[in-house]
Structure 1
Amino acid sequence: MARAELSYNYSNSGRGGAPKWCYYKRTTVIICSFNIAIALYVFHNLYSSLYSYPYQDLHNGVSYAPDQIRKMEESVRIRIESKPVKLMEIVKEIKKRFNREDSVKLPQPLKQKLTNELLEVLRVVNASANTTLQHEAVQQWRNEKLEEAKTLKNGKSSNSNILKQEAETLAKLLEFKWPEVLDQIGLWVPINVINNEHNDKPEGEDDFDETILAGRRLPPECNVEHHTDYGGQAVKWGLTHHKESAYECCKACLDHAKNAKPNEIKCNIWVYCPVEEGCHSPDIYQHKLQECWLKYDEKPKVNFKDMYSESYRNRHPDAPMFVPWVSGVISS
């Protein structure tokens, strides 16, 4: 009995529990090893995809025969030898020389002398005069000063206020860098623009109307007035009376007056809309292109002339700047 109890205690608290603990530890090690193996496998595949293909392409690329390689090398050599090396050096030297010339500036004392002389030249010709004369005076001064600088540069004596050491620089600037000289001095003379009006109107012809009207030219008895709207009693209602042109509208008024019976009202005013967008009028109607109003008034009065007033346009937002109607009072 005592031995059996001892055996039971030993199995529960001694070595008898070792097999169960070893089982869990071994399972954990196996799972971790499996995860590590999977991770290594994944990393290996990624590494292979990134580096294996370029490496393979590098080694599996197109291979050239020795004869082809020799021809390519010879082509590169010929191309290098055919470079215009001498010309490139000349161009580079020219650029350097021009850069050195571009950097030439007027010394301050010389700049002040030239400025004072040019101001005196412009003062003589009157700075407010014709700019063409100003240009001619400045150009003449330039030619004289250039000749003076060249004379000093060549070692010849000259009655000049320019120093001999300044002559070479001044001659170069006046001859080749004249716009830069003017820029450094700060002189700008505007170009004089003269507009000559060319009148090609045939002799004896009247001036053209300010608005070009479609159709035939209106006869004098129509007394056409642009940008004008006459009032009066309607003889022909323009909303339903359309004509192809102002000439046709005026002719309709003349015909109406000619053919009217003794007791009928005779047309003595015609009003025509020549504008494609229509003509504004302070009534409820939308007046359209080719409307021809025939009217009568014993003493014709103008409703609108030339431009609508600003106060009128404020009251009528749709009103344009100018009166669009064309009209006339028939001569009796």
Structure 2
Amino acid sequence: MAREGRAKWGGFGSGSGQGQCSYKRITLIVCSVNIVIALYVLRHLYASLYIYSNKDNVVKYTPDQIRKMEESMKIRRASEPVELVKLVKQLKHEFSGEESVAELPQAVKHKITDEILQRLRSLRPNANASEQQEVVETWRKEKLKEAKMLALGGEGLKSTLSQEEAGMLVKTLESSWAMLLEDIGLWIPTEINNKEHDDKPEGVEDTDEDQILAGRPLPPECRAELHTDYDGAAVRWGLTHRKESAADCCQACLDQAKHAKPGEKKCNIWVYCPLEGGCYSPDIYEHKHMECWLKASEKPRLNFKDSYSEAYRNSHPTAPVIVPWVSGVVSV
């Protein structure tokens, strides 16, 4: 009888232990689930607050614009000559001193660009291309002499450059001067003397655009403005729309406005990239040479004009000093 009692009590104790163990496991599982749910809710609230706090900075695109962007990106990826681009970059690296320009700090590029612009502003308003080239070349020679003296440890020499920066600048000014000008977004035309060669077509007037932009002369109705970027709704995306010259881009805008169907937007703004190295823009795309954007706006508004401000360049380190685009507002 005693043995049976002990057996019963022992069985009860064993069952009780199993019940306690099961209870602890269930409690642990419930707590873990609650913690996961709490973390998920906190993450959702944080994401909502972040989106709300930044809602003024979000660019809103229509579904049609998003579709066009996706199509443009697919077309560009499919048509990108990857191997050819790699080969060209390799050749540039080997033959044109690309490395020395890349090594030059961005702050130094900004300094020398500001100095060049200051020299150009000292010229008379209607200075021709030869005068501009002479001023820039004079600056280059003076800066090269200063950098060489500083690189050799010139004592008492007042300069905004460090000795290390001076050494890199010497190499750039001697072997990569043309690439540096393109990198900072500054191009100066080669002046053409039509009177001497007598090769100018009859009835074509002299314009600043003829001397500066490559390709055929721009007609007066194009109203071309150098170093200018106008805003407007895109009638034709420049990512997949390229023209050989600014004049061709302007003509494309005039033709679109002329043949636009009823209800379609008519182009009255054209924006063209004349630089072989491409043109800077604060969006997510890489804008290449000969891109031609056709836009429409009832009240054309400037995005950028002449140069990017110092405050803008501080917040956008990759921006050059000079606006690289060429634009025009035409009459429709």
Pick the TM interval, shorter chain: 0.3 to 0.5
TM-score when normalising by structure 1: 0.38
Question: Taking CA–CA contacts closer than 8 Å with sequence separation of 6 or more, which of the two structures ends up with the larger relative contact order?
Answer: 2
TM-score when normalising by structure 2: 0.38
